Structure 1
């Protein structure tokens, strides 16, 4: 049973009016909710929620979602900046948020404001002009033009395996930058089948990670390589792969494999620079391998 389904069962068995604190991952409600924030859920039925409320629902895939209510009878919900969700089972209403060490109430008086913010945000999200502006801003923010300034702002970065107790920081980071990765990381870390290396800034904040799990006959597989936008094009991706290969070799693995999309030329350059070679050239998404018997290959140039 997954963590989400376990929490869902707890909420289902709460009596009406009972409450439960739930920790969340993801950024669909940012900036109202950050990945890693906790919400206090009041168990209630559909008659107790109204447009503008923050509701917790159980999706068809078994995951939990905390989204804004956009309509009643039946209950409809949406992310802060996106489209309405498919129908889901209502489990309760959020009455408090724990963020940055503070516990903040979510009063019913906030309904009109939150609903207005959601309408404005979803309209802006669908605007072609604003979406184009966001893409340009993102491209500029991670370009080589901003690299010197970002490097100075981040300071000296440290790449190392994650220590015991840092799993939560990894899940929160993954939940914000690549939510679908968080669902795989939890079981892999808990079961001891996978390992992660991270890149940290001088104050200990995680800025990127790589995750791999061991396979049959000493063949490990790269599952995730994620770098925060502010740390991209600073050599972080290559450094993470180098450390991941070193850790795999220390664990007795003889090779490191990866499945790469053929259309992502930047990612392909990065893995080639780290010594990965395509076993079956031309086969989309298959066959990239790095032998580890003689240690990881040197990093030729920063591509992260």
Structure 2
């Protein structure tokens, strides 16, 4: 697979830059979207392979990526990836990852001090790992010194110490919060939001709970162009075909499925380009209605 990191597109007055941290085979398809069934993968092999699925190994293929949006003089970073050298419980591919996300951002023309806003679509470790870096004294400090970090209040309450680090549901919740989120609070750079939050005239956040209590989407509306950055609301294109099917990582399956259908309906009806956090290939896709469900339309950011 060829990385498309650094590719950009202009939607209305907003430039969107894709920055890839990692991509490759991840977990068995049946584990990633357990409710989907094996037949949906086989029936769509002609376009799921090789960027979303490896038929021979039956492994789902995922990408870890961030999106940079240049809008109205602001540089907005959507999610910060897994982070470099973080030892985490979980998939072996993510243990002590040695990526070059900071270098990839710089090659895309984005220095840490240039970022004005960081959006965490939710507080899972592969979306907040690059929030912080080691400071001179060995403590964790914000990686983007001039940025406001927009953190969903519901996730902060759930994953923070007040919520018992999600009640211990995920082994690494405490570690992730303490080294990726708590330092933002200490530095006065965390901004909690709830209900809705407008960043500027083109960009707005809204809740899409279920994957986590505070998971959200970022909507882009500029000129005639529309897009929606959906984080982990959709892990695989299979969930576009079957929106009732959750990933194995969804905290509240019923709520996640309802949020997914609502977002896909609007994307189809309003011609919003869908930017998920983990799609390989072109990384973004148009959504079309297909009977009572949906189907992928044109791939990529070109309109």
Larger Rg: 1
* TM-score, structure 2 as length reference: 0.23
* TM-score, structure 1 as length reference: 0.23
Higher relative contact order (Cα pairs below 8 Å, separated by 6+ residues): 2
